[in-house]
Structure 1
Amino acid sequence: MSPETRPAKRPETRPETRPDVRSETRASDAEREQVAERLREALAEGRLNMVEFEERLEATFKARTHGELVPLVRDLPEPGTLLTPGAAVAASGATSGAAVSERGADGGWADRVGQGPATSKGAFAFWSGFRRRGRWTVGRMFTAAVFQAGGEIDLREASFEGREVVIRCFALMGGVHVTVPHDLDVEVRGFGIMGGFGEAGDVRSEVAPGAPRVVITGFALMGGVGVERKLRESEKRRLKEERKRLKLEKKADREERRDE
């Protein structure tokens, strides 16, 4: 077959690339803190120097979407991997303060699970409200019911009677709001009838070792039961202090450059 009679090659077609919806999703404070902790681990293991760490940490606190957070840890393996036993011991021993969070390697759950009897196993509100927050011990079975009322259950500083906890929420023309820390193992099973029963954002977050398992179930009739992850007050203070420290360091650096 002569070159003139050969059929022309069809142009290559590339598959259509769709934008990553997840990358455009707004990042939460808990997710920013998870990335910051990953960076601290990388600094402790010698994968990042101090300049790289501070640059990425500042970008983490400024990030508004998941797409801005992912590149900051894309080149970092999971903490503790690819290290020889001797190197791992040396890294953890030399920088234990930076590598381990203030709550300890197990997330601080060891002294908060099964250490005492429940201080509360239920709550009820009719034309009023109830609140369970701060330092309290949740029973293995906790039942909350509201009728034309509201209730607040905050588990961020709570202790737990057992490793497995079931929280039953019943809302009739009212609402119950459940706040949980980002490292708690949570499963939501309830349903709503002319109402809502569910979580705000991603409730299945990164679970800390030793964390109890909490199942939130029940129903809402012409009302709502909401589950939301929030940082602990101690974590908020730590983030605030870290931002302040970075700001002061940058200010001092600018003044030093001006003096030069």
Structure 2
Amino acid sequence: MSSDLPISSPYRSTPALPVDDGERDRLSTRLNAAFEAGTLDADEYRARLDRLFAARTLGELVPVVEGLAPLPTYADPALVASSGGRPGELAPARSGNGLTVVAVAGVAGAVLLVVVLLLLLL
């Protein structure tokens, strides 16, 4: 059987592994999303759900996952995630937390101490 799934997909790289409940939950969520988005019709949706819950190994899930939208392979870090503004708009300033203030004060104090000691030694 030919498949468009990459060889790194667990469905192709480890087809003999058993299907666990977590995998069934993840795939049923993906199938639900595809059905809601209109990429699967009702008959195809039901057929894939039947295959999903009848499957015993990951290899048997290939027909279930083929053609589904790929999962995102990354998440936007909170620091760069969009705050809903428009392009070119300035974002509101972030306030520093207490730890930052203490760290800056500690470094400034250490630098001042080194300068004073150097002046005393010269």
TM-score range, shorter chain: 0.3 to 0.5
Q: Which has the larger radius of gyration?
A: 2
Scaled by the length of structure 2, what TM-score is found? 0.45
Scaled by the length of structure 1, what TM-score is found? 0.22
* Between structures 1 and 2, the one with greater strand share: 1
